[in-house]
Amino acid sequence: MQNNSQELYTAYQDMTQKAADLQFAAAVLGWDQEVYMPSKGFAHRGRQLATLATQAHELLTNDSYGNLLQQLAVADGLTDVQQNNVRLSLEDYEKNKKLPPAFVEAITMQTSASYNAWLQARNENNYEVYALQLAKMIELKKQQAQYYGYKAHPYDALLDEYEKGATVAMLDPVFAKVKEQLPPLLDKIKNATQVNNDFLHLHFPKQEQWDFSIDVLKKMGYDFNAGRQDYSEHPFTTSFTPEDVRITTRVDENNFASLLWSSIHEGGHALYEQGLPVAQYGMPLGTAASLGIHESQSRFWENCVGRGYAFWEFFYPHLQQYFSQQLGGIALKDFYKGVNQVKPSLVRTEADEITYHFHVLIRYEIEKALIEGSLAAKDIPATWNDLYYKYLGIRPDTDKTGVLQDVHWSHGMFGYFPTYSLGSFYAAQFFEQAGKDIPGLTAQLQSGDLAPLLHWLRGHIHEYGRRYTSEELCKKITGKGLDFASFKQYAEKKYSEVYEFK
């Protein structure tokens, strides 16, 4: 019986990995589409991606695969790892089975069309160029929610794709705390003397910025033999195996913050992917726990580490060697304060750690309205601008710095944005716990030794893949589930030092 179970598991593994081969082949085409592909390639690229997505979907939803999973679910003789892979694959099978192949093909084709329209609209700074294709994508996402089914709100079905178990009923209280507890901290900052970051907006040549970002990524532990960095319109990370994980960034020669922290952020994502078990390629335990946990890794490195004083005690002298003319007269303390300036801004990816969550809140409220049908695609810009004024007191004057700044909706990624805030809140808890678990962590950061911190993340998060939900993993690491209080405490301590208030 045990031998038979292993034979069945081998057959399951073969089918699952073949589907993964198709999915990752599509991912390579998707990466090329955003990095190198010429503009005339969009029409056929959409077809190619749709073909691969449909074939992978058919493999993972056919009856023989489902029967195999059902047999394995009650089989004896499987290891703990094997049992967890089967359990999670069966959950995925039952969910994937709800989507007809024709729908998978349609939404994949629409993704390519929507992305092309977004890119053109962004280049022309004109939302109208994008509106029709976005409306088509929104209708498909509403349809997807109906296919999946939901108990309370149609948006719940889409949230679950990125953060298992997440619902509007769960997230509304989290964002209520954002609206209630962050404004008092913002008021203290507004009443303090504003820190200066004018030096970040001098001229920083593209190549020197790039070279310094590579130095930082190497120090973080990003393996360039298993990855690369390129430019794209919107920074992203894509993974084909733990031994091929690629990141992109973007550059502004008059805004030093644009490239570096995007690289660090995406580097955090990439370190997670490079740390997943290679032996579990194509199977659930070879994938990330959730998008919330994934975002915790990027925000952990970008903010808790990459905007921390100890980090810059090591890296700042090296940065000054690259940019002696721009930064030679700027003291470390002033640089640290400048890169942590809190000020309402229009662009989410360049927002500070406090106002950032209002950017996410705005997108969350718009997505809920779109999926429930109370907001139409044509009305998004006006709603977007009104919400920016409501929460941040500023109003976009162009579509590019407003509704066109994010690529996510063109890809149909409705339900993704809340994970950015969840990730930040998890990151604060994980960083707090790492400080307790790693003797001399601050001194290690001050000396540029980031290896012990990466080792801690590997052992506490990366190696488990999808074995645990976000809440289960957080409890395993910190002894409690998601706790906004940890983020609030982290933010108050940090910014009381930056802005020198009690």
Q: Which residues are catalytic?
A: 266
What is the rounded distance in angstroms from the CA atom of residue 494 to the CA atom of residue 348? 20
In 20-59 the beta strands, taken as DSSP E runs, fall at: none
Residue whose entry in the numeric block shows the structure tokens 């179970």: 5
Instruction: Estimate to the nearest angstrom the gap between the alpha carbon of 213 and the chain centroid.
Output: 19
Within 13 Å, how many C-alpha atoms sit on residue 451's CB side?
3
Residue whose entry in the numeric block shows the structure tokens 């970002």: 213
What is the rounded distance in angstroms from the CA atom of residue 100 to the CA atom of residue 57? 9
Q: Where are the alpha helices (DSSP H) in 149-205?
A: 154-162, 168-191
Do residues 385 and 396 make contact, with C-beta atoms less than 8 angstroms apart?
Answer: yes
Other beta carbons within 10 angstroms of residue 269's beta carbon come to 24
Question: What is the per-residue burial (b if ≥16 Cβ within 10 Å, else e) of 14-45?
Answer: ebbeebbbbbbbbbebbbebbbeeeeebbeeb
**Closest-CA residue to 284 (of 87, 462, 15):** 87
Q: Helix 356-372 and helix 168-191: axis angle, to 10°?
A: 150
Q: Which residues contact 317 (CB under 8 A, 6 or more apart)?
A: none
Residue whose entry in the numeric block shows the structure tokens 């395993």: 476
Other beta carbons within 10 angstroms of residue 172's beta carbon come to 13
